[in-house]
Every structure is written in C-alpha cells, then in structure tokens.
Amino acid sequence: MDPNTLHYDAIVVDAHCDTLGDVLEGKRSLAERSNSGHVDLPRLREGGVTAQLFACFVPVEEYHRSATRHAMQRLDMLHQAIEDYPGEITLATGATDIRRAKAEGKIAGILGLEGAEPLGDSIEVLHCFYRLGVRNLGLTWNFRNDTADGVMEGPNARGLSEFGVRVVEECNRLGIIIDVSHLAAAGVRDVLEVSQQPVIASHSNARALFDHYRNLTDAQIAGIVAGGGLIGVTFVNAFLNRPAGEATIEHVLDQIDYLVRTAGPDHVTIGSDFDGATMPAGLEDATRYPALTVGMATRGHSEETIRKVLGLNFLRVFEQVTGR
C-alpha cells in the first residue's frame, strides 16, 4: 500500500494539542478552517486525523484563583462543538468510540487535563471531570501543584504527594490515563511505582537524541515501556533541535526512529502539541500529517509499525485503561 493510501486508511491519533484555549479566547472556531494556529476540524480531516486529544491547559496566573473554572470553560468548548456539529465530531471516552468515529467518517475528540490544578485537593472534583468525559490527566505542567512537582521546580523537585498517590490510584480505578509529560523526574519515578495501569508521556521526546529537560531519559522510557505505556513523539521545535528555528520534520522522524528502536514499535505514539508551541518545517499544521507517514515509509518502517505509531498503540492503551 502506498504511504498516502496507508495514511488515510489508518487510525490516526494525536495525543496532545492545546487548541481549546484559542477557541475559548475567540481567536478562531473549531469548526471553520483558519489561517492561524494549527488545528481545526477541516484541517484535522484534511490531515487524516481520526482522534485528537484536546488538553485543557490552565494559565499559570490562574493556578490559585480559578483553575477549575478555566478547565471547565475549555471542556465546554469541545462539548459545544459536539452539540453543534454532531456529523463532524464525537466525544471519545474509550477505544470503541474512536473505532466508531473512523467507520462513520467523524473525528473523535478526547478530553484531557494538562495539570491537576483544577482538582485542587479534591478527589470528588476528579470524579466530576471524569463524568464530563476527561480520560487523560497530566499531573503537572512545569510547576508544583497539590499532586506533584513539575519539571521546572529544579533539582530538588519532589515526587508524588500523598494526594498525588490517591489521584493516580483513583485514575486507575476510574479509567483515566495518567500522563507524565511535564512531571519532574521524582514524580515520573513515583507514578511508575504506583500506577497499576499503563502510563503515557503524551508529548515528550528522547533526551538521548536531543538533550532538553522536557525530554525523557532512556531509564524513564524503559520504565514507561515496562508498564505497557507509550511515549508520544512531539513536534515542539525546542525539544528537537538547537537552534529551534531550524527544526524540521526530519528531526521528528529521527525521534520516531530512535524510539521504535529503543522502546519498541508497540510503545510509540504521536503527541504534536499543536497550538501549544512553534512547529518544525514540514509539520506546519494538522494538514501535514500525511508527510509523517510518507517519511516513516521512506525510512523503511513496515506498514505494521506505521499503523501502530499513528494510532493503534494509543488505541490499545486507551482500551486497556478505560475498559472499553
């Protein structure tokens, strides 16, 4: 099968974007093609994307004032789009929903929290977010909250708090994927010890290939793999190359090559971070996804491996964690 045909035949999942913030601020509509930003429904469709995980990121200045409100407003943006455009997008709370979306020609929207600030210190609030469809929880952004420390808290950053342990355990019970991107090293260690379900790093690259504090060490990668989890290759320029402005799709393909070799083809997925950072040449927005498939094929990856990286690996973990 030629790479373009393979791409549009495959289930394609992007495990991280920050688009809902722009939609909430009125910069553009999710339903209409825009010349700004990276993601909207027309561009996802053109790029052959089956499912997009929409992260709800709370601005740092709102951490202690109104984090829950900000997260709820972002959730509402996706729920409103689903109500307004039922023929275009559907909510995915399990792998079954993604498969159905593919069969029906729709885009599946997955909801996640990027940082546990909206929970405060309440397991009950976590339950409410679950009922609203949240199925992915990144415990921190770059800084400290009630669950753990983020990666920018420095060399003495702490791991999981007592509340953080409870959150991981409750997410395991409910069926919410734990995401360790942005988490300090001690927190990654603790999550891998506590979690009884696979965990993901939705948008992190391999530090051995490019030394950046947001990328994962080989030991962290091995720990995620041992638990059956996933590393989401991300397109963020700054995590790929120095100078960042010279990053290209080839650097992303280098990361895929490295992770397929070291983590194995069953443990690699894609987490673009579209609308959250500057993108490399060749992956300017969601319409460029087919170029990634062409690049993987050109570099000799098998059809089986390409399908896994594009979406089947995420589907496996999503099904295992959510139970559906």
Residue range 6-19, pLDDT digits in tens:
999 999 999 999 99
Radius of gyration of the chain (CA): 18
Give pLDDT, residue 324.
95
* Position 173 pLDDT exceeds 90: yes
Mean pLDDT of 86-104: 99
Given a contact cutoff of 8 angstroms between Cβ atoms, the answer to whether 228 and 320 are in contact is yes
Mean pLDDT of 129-135: 99
Give the pLDDT confidence of 262-311 residue by residue, as tens digits: 999 999 999 999 999 999 999 999 999 999 999 999 999 999 999 999 99
* Position 155 pLDDT exceeds 90: no
Mean pLDDT of 199-219: 98
Strands 200-201 and 230-233 turn out to be parallel
What is the distance between the terminal CA atoms of the chain, rounded to a whole angstrom? 30
Domains and CATH numbers, the chain: 3-322 (3.20.20.140)
Give the pLDDT confidence of 96-126 residue by residue, as tens digits: 999 999 999 999 999 999 999 999 999 999 9
Mean pLDDT of 121-147: 97
Give pLDDT, residue 62.
65
pLDDT > 70 fraction of the chain, expressed in percent and rounded: 98
Give the pLDDT confidence of 41-80 residue by residue, as tens digits: 999 999 999 999 999 998 877 666 689 999 999 999 999 9
Of the candidates 258, 256, 268, 272, which has an alpha carbon nearest to the alpha carbon of residue 228? 268
Measure Cα distances from 118 to 41, 53, 115, 177, 211 in Å: 27, 18, 8, 16, 31
Give pLDDT, residue 59.
80
Better pLDDT: 234 or 66: 234
Measure Cα distances from 142 to 20, 118, 151, 185 in Å: 19, 15, 5, 12
Measure Cα distances from 138 to 9, 15, 28 in Å: 30, 12, 25
Mean pLDDT taken over the chain? 97
Give pLDDT, residue 64.
64
Q: Where are the beta strands (DSSP E) in the chain?
A: 13-17, 51-57, 89-91, 107-114, 134-138, 177-179, 200-201, 230-233, 268-270
What tokens were used for 185?
């090293």
Give pLDDT, residue 58.
86
Give pLDDT, residue 258.
99
**128 — pLDDT class (breaks 50, 70, 90):** very high
Q: 220 Cβ partners below 8 Å, 6+ apart? A: 180, 185, 188, 201
Mean pLDDT of 143-170: 96
Give pLDDT, residue 313.
99
Rounded CA separation 263/205 (Å): 12
